[in-house]
Structure 1
């Protein structure tokens, strides 16, 4: 049963990490038109458990994308400098939508793994009861 528990832990950690990733993608999309907004990125890190690798993941620290901000020409904008430009955001909606799809599919894969493990453990308990 320990293997079932490990599988459930790994799948649940993957779902939690992908949900957090999707939250950051949503924030990026919501702030795509916010002047001076830097895109948020993160990475997954393996959970350190005793001396062995567990396979579970967690979300790493949030980092701001330091790529250059878009320069937008709009002389009437109150944020514009003397040349009529101001800094937009560095959010690329195509990249964000692709990241959202990837996070969604990874979440679904972890959910399927969780469900399969649950069904296998239930079947095992049914066999042991006989």
Structure 2
């Protein structure tokens, strides 16, 4: 039974990690037009404190890529040339990251469900 619980822990850790990733992707999309906003990146790490193969979302990092220079002389943050720092969020990348996180989340959910079904089937066999 420990193999089943290990598999469930690994699947649950993947679900949590992808949920955290999706949360930060949605924050990036929501702040795409916020001046000076830097894109958040969520790395995954092997979680040595739990089951073998379990992952967790690491510490959020800010993308140090160059901020877009936006020309709008009427903006309150504009300098003498009429430019201000926009964000470095690329919506195409964020949508691709969101789709990847969604698919990974679904795969972990499927693994969780399959493990649960196998455990239930094993219990039924043992009762006979």
Q: TM-score range by the shorter chain?
A: over 0.9
Partners of 1:74 and 1:59 in 2: CA distance: 38
CA-to-partner distance for each residue in 1:5-48, whole Å, 9 max, x for gaps? 00000000000000000000000000000000000001110111
Q: Mapping of 1:111-122 within 5 angstroms? A: 111-122=109-120
Aligned to 1:95: 93
Aligned to 1:26: 26
Q: Structure 1 unaligned runs (5+)?
A: none
1:17 aligns with 2:13: no
Q: TM-score, normalised by structure 2?
A: 0.98
Give the C-alpha shift of residue 49 in structure 1.
Answer: 3.4
Q: Which one of the candidate residues 108, 121, 124 is aligned to 2:122?
A: 124
**Aligned residue pair count:** 128
Q: Structure 2 unaligned runs (5+)?
A: none
Q: TM-score, normalised by structure 1?
A: 0.96
Provide the alpha-carbon RMSD of the alignment: 1.0
Which structure shows the bigger proportion of residues in strand conformation? Answer: 1
